Amino acid sequence: MMSVVGAQPFIKPMQSSPSVSPGIQRRHTLPASEVRPLNTQDAISVFEIEREAFISVSGECPLHLDEVRHFLTLCPELSMGWFEEGRLVAFIIGSLWDQDRLTSDALTLHKPCGSTVHIHVLAVHRTFRQQGKGPILMWRYLQYLRCLPNVRRAMLMCEDFLIPFYRKSGFKVLGRCAITVANLTFTEMWYPISGHAYMRRNSEAIRFPELPLTVPLTKTDEQVDV
């Protein structure tokens, strides 16, 4: 498993628990909102969200259930899940890759010595879409990758209608992808991973205790929020 340096602020609860009067007891102890790495116990929830998000649009899932379990076993530290009251609402799954461009092997392999994170999938539960959770989780994930000492860039492949969404997260077009799935074609995009994770305690937009996001969302962002 990859060594993680200074990454804890990016996988802590995203909101402080509200103060409770001495005479009022909380009915549960789950944090209102938290981000953490995924594990194999999350696999079914991951696949259900992914299947609903992608099958209706493209007819294909980026990862099948056995592949979800495969990557959450080999490299759980390259995944990130957003939970509300203990319920998974959004997630990212990645693995390491060791070539300049993606090939069909990148869909199923994890290369521990690679310096590129291949982002296989970002998906948001249908109930929580149009709330900016996709861009927020991606921003947080990219900052988290800056804490991993051997990672130099992130890559993904997407259909053309998603290019504006990923551009707003800082990705750049690399070119047409050599991979095709059924009749679907893709564009490769990349994001440079360098420097230190960006942290600021005060935000005018969304206040997290350790890691706020200050990117304002526009109507265009909401339309392609995944």
Of the CA atoms within 13 Å of residue 76, those in its CB half-sphere come to 14
118 assigned to active site: no
* Neighbouring-strand partners of residue 118: 95, 155
79 assigned to active site: no
166 assigned to active site: yes
Catalytic site residue from 166, 169, 191, 217: 166
- Three-point CA angle 15, 17, 21, nearest 5°: 155
120 assigned to active site: yes
Catalytic site residue from 45, 72, 102, 120: 120
Cα 97 → chain centroid: 17
Of the CA atoms within 13 Å of residue 129, those in its CB half-sphere come to 15
Catalytic site residue from 122, 142, 145, 148: 122
First to last CA, the chain: 29
Catalytic site residue from 95, 118, 169, 191: 95
The catalytic site residues sit at: 95, 109, 120, 122, 166
